[in-house]
């Protein structure tokens, strides 16, 4: 029987849910259909919504405390309290003046960063990055971290994540990945370039391919939209309305297709959360890392597999006439090219985590004050050469390539590698219950969806990312399964 204190808390939360809902639609619209000049008023409206949300959150303090004191809370109730306490704690510890300053600086810095990247001139962006690092250091101080100050910032993106977790993960992953990469680079099975990269496609044909992909993955009709944006993304509006995007660059068709598969992975997580959690604080994915494990699982482990290539090959042939002359094996090789590249978003499965390690090391040093902003470009290039043997030709190909820092997102990057690591942990766990290979080769992807729903999706944010892993694996952020997956795929 639900307690009345809990009911009271949940009903006071509903307006906050609605504000989040509105804010998500604003965000989606900004990236898809809003005319350029709308940016200023949209920014104003978003800031007002954020303030309203903050006010409402603070009003929940006593209701939260009442529920916290109830005896014998179940997992769901504990989850609700955990999520709300975290949000409230942030607003209580970080003073509004600091939030406002961060908001102002990052709004301007994002615009400045675009110009700096276009001109490939770090000097233009440097004063903004200096200011942002200083503000993030102050934010970390306010949040009273344990251990490294970067822990406070990591926790904002991945609950309870610490530098110890990330260091342990990379130290088990990076040397092994390097060995695999070296072997692949000296072999001839996985090419570093492919003629299909240069072939142009017709956009209508590609849209048909993408619609068929949505059908293969069994995206539930009437619960999603797919639109176009420069950088593909997913925004969940509710448990029955998710928006994804892809891009059409006109050549190298795999980019558009894999964006769709990746974003579907995010979308399915949101859509398969138990309906009874709707309008509550736990009606969302539990963290960025767990979210990314879903997109990576579908994109890489399913989508870039031999069996998936075989499954979709006839469909590809029927829509993309230029594929005649390229057999299934050739298309598989094109899907799985391996090439150290200075650009993170163009990286393959084997090199991707090196890009994250580099950013993680730099952020950790910046936050601790162990490196000056002015030295970041040379540190970046030096690490890129050490890790991947390549030297960015310009700042736009190096330190200026990502939007994250300009938006104040320091501590975000590691969640991408967490996603990769978790996706392979899931693979090994899933294989104890279902035969993934035959499910994919027979097109029975529903088996995979049902497994993910039962073990991860349905809970929403009821369990923290660490609790969820504890329940599923009895251990956390373990890199070994990813190493085994990469060895199996690339070396056998
Ligand atoms: Zn993603």
Q: What is the pLDDT of residue 230?
A: 86
Note the pLDDT tens digit of each residue in 299-330.
Answer: 999 999 999 999 999 999 999 999 999 999 99
Q: Looking at residues 159-166, what average pLDDT do you find?
A: 98
pLDDT at 117 > cutoff 70: yes
In the chain, % helix, strand, coil (3-state, to 5) comes to 70, 5, 30
CA distances from residue 198 to 188, 255, 339 in whole angstroms, order as listed? 20, 12, 16
User: CA angle 483-485-489, nearest 5°?
Assistant: 120
Query: How many Cβ atoms from other residues are within 10 Å of residue 454's Cβ?
Result: 12
The owner of tokens 């942002």 is 132
- % of the chain at pLDDT higher than 90: 94
Closest to 197 measured CA to CA, from 252, 247, 250: 252
pLDDT at 161 > cutoff 70: yes
Q: How far is the CA of 216 from the centre of ligand 1 (A)?
A: 20
Q: Looking at residues 54-69, what average pLDDT do you find?
A: 95
* b/e per residue 153-191 (b: at least 16 CB within 10 A): bbbbbbbebbbebbeebbebbbebbeebbeebeeeeebb
- Kindly report the average pLDDT of the chain as a whole number: 96
Q: How far is the CA of 96 from the centre of ligand 1 (A)?
A: 30
Structure tokens at 109: 């810095």
Which residues are within 8 A (CB) of 16 and not within 5 positions of it... i.e. 6 or more apart? Answer: 53, 56, 57, 60, 281
Q: How far is the CA of 416 from the centre of ligand 1 (A)?
A: 8
Q: What is the pLDDT of residue 178?
A: 97
Q: How far is the CA of 151 from the centre of ligand 1 (A)?
A: 22
Q: What is the pTM of this model?
A: 0.96
Give 458's strand partners: none
Q: Looking at residues 276-285, what average pLDDT do you find?
A: 98
Comparing 94-103, 126-135, 158-167, 429-438, which segment has the lowest mean pLDDT? 94-103
- % of the chain at pLDDT higher than 70: 100
Length of the chain: 492
User: CA angle 37-38-42, nearest 5°?
Assistant: 145
pLDDT at 362 > cutoff 60: yes
Note the pLDDT tens digit of each residue in 413-451.
Answer: 999 999 999 999 999 999 999 999 999 999 999 999 999
Query: How far apart, in whole angstroms, are the C-alpha atoms of residue 15 and residue 17?
Result: 5
Q: How far is the CA of 269 from the centre of ligand 1 (A)?
A: 12
pLDDT at 80 > cutoff 90: yes
Q: How confident is the model at residue 1 (pLDDT cuts 50, 70, 90)?
A: very low
Q: How confident is the model at residue 2 (pLDDT cuts 50, 70, 90)?
A: low
C-alpha dihedral, 35 to 40 to 43 to 49, nearest 10°: -100
Q: Looking at residues 218-232, what average pLDDT do you find?
A: 95
Q: How far is the CA of 455 from the centre of ligand 1 (A)?
A: 20
Note the pLDDT tens digit of each residue in 363-415.
Answer: 999 999 999 999 999 999 999 999 999 999 999 999 999 999 999 999 999 99
Q: How far is the CA of 477 from the centre of ligand 1 (A)?
A: 18
Query: How many Cβ atoms from other residues are within 10 Å of residue 100's Cβ?
Result: 12
Q: Looking at residues 204-214, what average pLDDT do you find?
A: 98
pLDDT at 452 > cutoff 90: yes
- Give all strands (DSSP E) within 190-285, no chain letters: 224-228, 234-238, 241-246
Active centre residues (catalytic)? 263
Note the pLDDT tens digit of each residue in 19-36.
Answer: 999 999 999 999 899 998
Q: How far is the CA of 476 from the centre of ligand 1 (A)?
A: 20
């Amino acid at each position: 029987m639900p307690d009345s204190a809990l009911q009271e808390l949940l009903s006071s939360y509903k307006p906050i849910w609605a504000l989040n809902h509105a804010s998500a639609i604003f965000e989606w619209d900004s990236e898809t259909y809003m005319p350029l000049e709308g940016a200023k008023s949209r920014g104003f409206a978003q800031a007002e919504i954020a303030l309203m949300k903050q006010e409402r959150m603070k009003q929940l303090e006593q209701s939260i405390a009442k529920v916290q004191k109830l005896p014998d809370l179940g997992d769901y109730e504990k989850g609700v309290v955990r999520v709300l306490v975290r949000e409230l704690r942030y607003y209580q510890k970080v003073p509004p003046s600091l939030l406002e300053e961060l908001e102002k600086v990052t709004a301007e810095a994002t615009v400045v960063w675009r110009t700096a990247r276009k001109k490939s001139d770090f000097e233009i962006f440097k004063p903004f990055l200096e200011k942002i690092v200083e503000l993030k250091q102050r934010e970390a101080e306010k949040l009273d971290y344990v251990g490294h100050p970067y822990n406070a910032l990591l926790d904002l993106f991945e609950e309870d994540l610490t530098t110890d977790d990330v260091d342990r993960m990379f130290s088990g992953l990076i040397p092994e990945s390097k060995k695999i990469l070296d072997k692949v680079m000296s072999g001839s099975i996985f090419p570093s370039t492919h003629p299909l990269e240069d072939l142009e496609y017709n956009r209508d044909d590609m849209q048909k391919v993408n619609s068929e992909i949505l059908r293969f993955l069994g995206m539930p009709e009437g619960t999603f939209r797919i639109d176009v944006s420069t950088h593909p993304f997913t925004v969940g509006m509710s448990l029955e309305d998710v928006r994804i995007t892809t891009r059409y660059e006109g050549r190298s068709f795999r980019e558009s297709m894999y964006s769709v598969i990746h974003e579907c992975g995010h979308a399915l997580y949101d859509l398969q959360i138990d309906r009874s959690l709707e309008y509550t604080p736990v009606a969302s994915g539990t963290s960025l890392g767990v979210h990314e494990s879903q997109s990576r699982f579908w994109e890489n482990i399913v989508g870039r597999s031999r069996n998936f290539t075989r499954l979709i090959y006839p469909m590809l042939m029927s829509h993309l006439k230029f594929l005649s002359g390229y057999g299934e094996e050739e298309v598989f090789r094109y899907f799985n090219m391996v090439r150290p590249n200075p650009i993170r978003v163009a990286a393959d499965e084997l090199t991707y985590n090196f890009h994250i390690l580099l950013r993680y090391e730099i952020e950790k040093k910046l936050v601790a004050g162990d490196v000056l902003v002015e030295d970041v470009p040379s540190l970046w290039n030096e690490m890129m050469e050490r890790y991947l043997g390549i030297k960015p030709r310009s700042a736009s190909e190096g330190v200026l390539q990502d939007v994250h820092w300009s938006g104040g997102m320091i501590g975000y990057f590691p969640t991408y590698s967490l996603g990769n690591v978790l996706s392979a942990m899931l693979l090994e766990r899933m294989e104890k219950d279902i035969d993934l290979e035959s499910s994919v080769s027979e097109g029975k992807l529903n088996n995979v969806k049902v497994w993910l729903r039962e073990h991860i999706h349905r809970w929403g944010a009821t369990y923290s990312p660490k609790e969820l892993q504890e329940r599923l694996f009895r251990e956390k952020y373990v890199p070994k399964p990813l190493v085994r997956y990469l060895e199996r795929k690339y070396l056998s």
